[in-house]
Structure 1
Amino acid sequence: MGEEEFKCGGFKVKGNRVEINRNLASRTFDELGPADVYGLENCMRCGICSYTCPFWLVTKRPIDVPAWRTYEINKIYSMFYTGYGIVARYLRLRRISNKEFMRWTDSAYNCTACGACTETSPMEIPNWYTAILMRRILHYSGFNYETAEKLAKNTKELGNALGISNWKEMASKVGFQVDKKGSEYLYIPSPLEIQDMEILQSIASIFSKMKISVTVSSAVSDPGYYAYLVGDFETARSVFVKVLEEAKRLEVKKIITTDGTSYFWLRWQGPKSSGVKLPIPVEHLTQTVYEKYKQGSIKLSKADVKGPTSVHYSEFLSRLGGVEEPVREILRLTAPQFIEPRDSPSSHKLYTCTHHLELISEKKEIVKRAREYVINQLSRWGSKNVIVFDPNCKLSLGNAIADKQANFDVTYFTIILERGIKI
């Protein structure tokens, strides 16, 4: 960049120097808890985390070792929040170079935030989280990808990341009651689910079969996690708060979601990021169905879908969200000729798909290459139909099929449940 200078978002890049002001640092780290600080301060940079990362396995670049991102974020943290770092900053012993910073955009998005690196880290370092913090800095400093910024802008200005404008009409068309007060559940959809009318119809049908009262809000068509995953925490937090406001306005008892990432965001990361205590329970549909099944309210039988079947678990639902048993038991009961992975849904031995990165067009080529690890694993199991629990996973595997990387079908779990639930 020579002597060209950029001043935006608290960054000043000139020559080989990157200057960061305290305002940017405080905004970047405003949601850190004790476990996050532990992770930043105690990463040994041993690199073991890289062996479960499909991006590093593809590129073998140092900047794609998950711990590299943690170390880079730790530089900023230590320069403002540790005694040694503050002194080192004034003495110019600790800094971020222009060369390092210009590699951040590429590195930050070579991560699906699946959490496998944390599972394999000897110190359980949340390297997936530091990738999100890195995107936060890119967002504020003006160096984020254009398509990433569009997702955030759509969420802020149009209410959802994909810019869908007719949510109320689509919800009514498949049978949802819109803005009905006093229902038991408020259903929060994913924009990708809204785009697929078959999925949306199956969700409405499941609620009807289980005879539970559900409403949707005309004001909420996105849980907010896309904005979070591209670094716009403020927009994501505002959507999360809006969800809670709508739940209160509509006088519901619980929030329910069918999207694995949405569950993780609404149940765990949203409350943490916003600092707002969750006032009512959040459930994933598999938890609701499993409880009804155990109570004897419904029966589950093999669904009429193509077999043999296998599964690609949602890491956000299992590894990061903590929901395992309902998913496995439901599949055993409803998936025909089910080939069950030996490892638990949270295991780092199960590869991540490329998830939300499918929406970042600048990453198209590396995303296609990184997909191959999960595709090869799923193909080895010999199933003809892979069941998924997250619309981002469905998008990823669907793109793999379109790119002729896979020769199996992909079925969303709500289709299985709709056909497998018996009263």
Structure 2
Amino acid sequence: MERRRSDCGGFKLEKGKIKIGRQLVSRTLDEISPFDVWGLQECMRCGICRYTCPFWLTTEKSTDVPAWRTYEVNKLFSMYYTGYGIVARYLRLRKLKDSEFKQWFDSAYNCTACGGCTETSPLEIPNWYTAILLRRILHFTGFNLGVPEKWISNVKETGNAMGIIKEKWVEIANSVGLQIDKKGAELLYVPSSLEVNSNILGQISKILDGMNSNFTVSSDISDSGYYAYLAGDFETARKRFMNIYEEAKKLNVKKIIVSDGSSYFFLRWQGPKSLRYKLDIQIEHLTETIYNAYNDRRVKLEKADIKDDATVHDSEFLSRLGGLHKPPRELMKIVLPSFKEPKPDPSSHVLFTCGHHLEMIPEKKEIVKKARLYAAKQLSNWAKTVVTFDPNCQLSMENAVKDSQGIEKSIYFTEVLANSVRS
């Protein structure tokens, strides 16, 4: 566990005990809402949430029970914000040992923040969120993993988690025919960093042109910023979220559209919450935009040239956490010749998470592979070809194909719709 320099104040180790800096606690918990506090304090630690977590099903370790992370964050919260906890801290009845912190380091990234545990919990405890709060502590104290810290530094330096510079982004956007910095357009398209390639952006351009959309992209926005949030640096993510909202006003657009399911959740829900910002512009996932246009008879949808049986891996952040259920599946029903719809609802706790953003973290390669197997096997019961709505999910399903985990092909939804949307 290698430590980097931190400017937060954090904590220090004294005789096997962790001496917590007050600043660490206040900054870690700076955005929690009354509902979050209720969730921290009301979790009964019954452990039923673990049965929908593929990471616990893989390890069966107590520290991989989602409720365990909530208990650990609540322990920190109560030591500084509740009467009993403050008294217990001053009397030295409640302390944090270095061995406990080591467990935080091991557990924080054994979670994709998919929200399945929250759906399973009788009280809907936000256990997915407490995993990110543990990462926030790792970030502030200098013990975060290398790749997540690289995401953060890339966002700070280039505005893109994968380090794609502005000139490269503009070059790719121009090459596929995306209109740049057009004022007064109806739609502002915001990609995520994994989508900044000529393949996906070319498909996006083709879809929007097929709809006769009045759209633009911003030369300053090549990433929605959520990777910094998932790595625990809320401050950097907040700046990026606000940059996007301000750019939309600057370009005088009516809507922001995204194609990444995670971007939808963070720009529509978590970003405004974290910023305490009243969202005054509509955020749509591309499937929602197309579905609404289809229902209004503004576009036609033709069958895709996919002959195999195909099913969908519902994006955890788009459907379960983001609340967008109908458009993604309904579009696939229309355009896929042989669509095999999963029986559970898109937000159901029964559906297993993929490896999502953890697929890019080398230290988690083995456990992610084992945890991913639950989703891959489940999907293979419906079809061997899988359509995804989030580039992180696409990466995970592609890895499932490489690892021969039951599915044979993974297709990003933009590829399916690129030749199907007609005005």
**Is the structural similarity TM-score above 0.5?**
yes
The offset of 1:384, in angstroms, is 3.0
Matched, 1:142 2:131: no
Matched, 1:234 2:227: no
Please state whether the residue corresponding to 1:369 is helix, strand or coil. Answer: helix
Cα distance in 2 for residues equivalent to 1:203 and 1:384: 25
The offset of 1:287, in angstroms, is 0.9
Structure 1 equivalent of residue 89 of structure 2: 89
Structure 1 equivalent of residue 375 of structure 2: 374
Cα distance in 2 for residues equivalent to 1:9 and 1:310: 49
The offset of 1:403, in angstroms, is 2.4
Cα distance in 1 for residues equivalent to 2:88 and 2:155: 40
Structure 2 equivalent of residue 257 of structure 1: 258
Change (3 A) 1:359 1:9: farther
Matched, 1:154 2:157: no
Q: Which amino acid aligns with 1:223?
A: S
The offset of 1:301, in angstroms, is 2.8
Structure 2 equivalent of residue 349 of structure 1: 350
Q: Is the 8 A contact 2:181 2:217 kept in 1?
A: yes
Structure 1 equivalent of residue 110 of structure 2: 110
The offset of 1:326, in angstroms, is 1.1
Cα distance in 2 for residues equivalent to 1:262 and 1:407: 26
Q: Is the 8 A contact 1:306 1:385 kept in 2?
A: no
The offset of 1:422, in angstroms, is 2.8
The offset of 1:418, in angstroms, is 1.4
Q: Is the 8 A contact 2:314 2:346 kept in 1?
A: yes
Q: Is the 8 A contact 1:15 1:98 kept in 2?
A: no
Matched, 1:177 2:167: no
Runs of 4+ in 1 over 6 A off after TM superposition: none
The offset of 1:285, in angstroms, is 0.6
Cα distance in 2 for residues equivalent to 1:56 and 1:384: 26
Q: Which amino acid aligns with 2:314?
A: Y
Structure 1 equivalent of residue 207 of structure 2: 206
Correspondence 1:62-73 to 2 at 5 A: 62-73=62-73
Instruction: String of CA shifts for 1:139-196, please: whole Å, max 9, x gaps.
Output: 000010011101111111111110112101101110111111111011100111113x
The offset of 1:405, in angstroms, is 2.5
The offset of 1:92, in angstroms, is 1.3
Matched, 1:318 2:319: yes
Instruction: String of CA shifts for 1:247-277, please: whole Å, max 9, x gaps.
Output: 1111111100000000000000000111122
Cα distance in 2 for residues equivalent to 1:199 and 1:290: 19
Q: Is the 8 A contact 2:115 2:126 kept in 1?
A: yes
Structure 2 equivalent of residue 309 of structure 1: 310
The offset of 1:15, in angstroms, is 2.9
Which consecutive residues of structure 2, in runs of 5 or more, have no partner in the other structure? Answer: none
Cα distance in 2 for residues equivalent to 1:269 and 1:306: 38
Cα distance in 2 for residues equivalent to 1:375 and 1:9: 43
Correspondence 1:209-224 to 2 at 5 A: 209-224=210-225
Cα distance in 2 for residues equivalent to 1:8 and 1:131: 20
Cα distance in 1 for residues equivalent to 2:224 and 2:151: 13
Cα distance in 2 for residues equivalent to 1:211 and 1:288: 12
Please state whether the residue corresponding to 1:387 is helix, strand or coil. Answer: strand
Q: Is the 8 A contact 1:225 1:262 kept in 2?
A: yes
Structure 2 length as normaliser, TM-score?
0.96
Change (3 A) 1:7 1:264: closer
Note the aligned Cα RMSD (angstroms).
1.4
Structure 1 equivalent of residue 392 of structure 2: 392
Change (3 A) 1:376 1:384: closer
The offset of 1:8, in angstroms, is 6.3
Cα distance in 2 for residues equivalent to 1:46 and 1:274: 32
The offset of 1:7, in angstroms, is 9.8
The offset of 1:330, in angstroms, is 0.8
Q: Percent identity?
A: 60
Structure 1 equivalent of residue 20 of structure 2: 20
